[in-house]
Structures are given as structure tokens and as C-alpha cells.
Amino acid sequence: QPLYLHAQRKGQRLPLRTHPSRKTLGLMSTPLSTLIVDDEPLALDLMERYVLRTPFLRLEAKCSGGAEALEALAGGGIDVAFLDIQMPGMNGLELSHLAGDRTRVIFTTAFQQYALEGFRADAIDYLLKPIDYNEFLRAAHKALKWFSLTREKTEPAPSAQAHTYLL
């Protein structure tokens, strides 16, 4: 059974699913592997709780800095990275450029002045702190949708496998 949260918009209560739709579930048999990077311990713990609460995400690593995150990304198995932007040493924007093509980035920051740069880095979303679970979930659903569409395109069409055409 999907769990529904409610978002407020113009006085309406809108359902927000924490579980993906059946169609998306059919395309995504395994959860998205997730990395969290933030130099603030409280923000790191909050994001960890959000990831663990979301059934279609699997926490692979949580890191407090860019160098540590690079090690986690080195294996190439991270689908989604939630990156803080302003961190000592390597910032989240720099890290996003080193993450590789497979990893999709969602920026989590208290500074809205980096939003344009964030989207130029092909981020799936840009979340401003403080981040509530509904905002987090919307961004996570965007990542899930991106991966389900990408994986759907890479699978050959059934009709192409089932028929042989003679000319």
C-alpha cells in the first residue's frame, strides 16, 4: 500500500506518494543507490533519515566533504547524489562535474544564488534549506522518473526481437 503525504497548494490538500507508481515499479526493479554529501552534521542526519524513509532509495554512503565523496563515487555505482554546494575544500558544484555521467545530482543548499549554476550542471533539482520531506520526495521522484525513462529507452522494443523481416 502506498503511503500518502499531503502538500498544500492554494488551500487544497494534494496527495504526494512516497511509493512509485506501478508503471514505474515495473521499470525500476531495484532502488536507486544514493549518496548524501553535506558538511553540516545536522543536515547530513536529516537527509539520511529522508533517504531511509523513502522505499525507492537505497543509501550507499553519506559523506561530510568532497574528497570523501569522490571515494564513494569512484566505484561508479551511485545513481543519485544529494550534494550541498557550499562546503570547505571541494564544493558541491565542483563535485558534480566529477561525478560521472551515470550519477544524477540534486543540490541541497541554503544559498539560492547558486541555482543557475546548479541547473547548468544538469542537476535534477535544487532544494533550498531547510528542506522538508515533501520537497525531498518531489526531487527524489524526479530522479526516479529520469532513471525509469532512461532505462526504458535502453531496453530493445519487444517487436524488434520478436519478428524477422525479409526484404
Question: What is the separation, in whole angstroms, between the first and last Cα of the chain?
Answer: 50
The whole-chain average pLDDT of the chain stands at 81
3-class DSSP state of 81: strand
Mean of pLDDT values over 69-91? 93
What pLDDT, on a 0 to 100 scale, did the predictor assign at position 159?
Answer: 37
CA-nearest of 40, 18, 10, 35 to 136 is 18
pLDDT beyond 70 at 112:
yes
What pLDDT, on a 0 to 100 scale, did the predictor assign at position 160?
Answer: 35
Instruction: Read off the pTM.
Output: 0.76
What pLDDT, on a 0 to 100 scale, did the predictor assign at position 48?
Answer: 98
Take residue 52 and report the three cell numbers written for it. 531511509
Poorest-pLDDT segment among 66-70, 101-105, 119-123: 119-123
3-class DSSP state of 85: coil
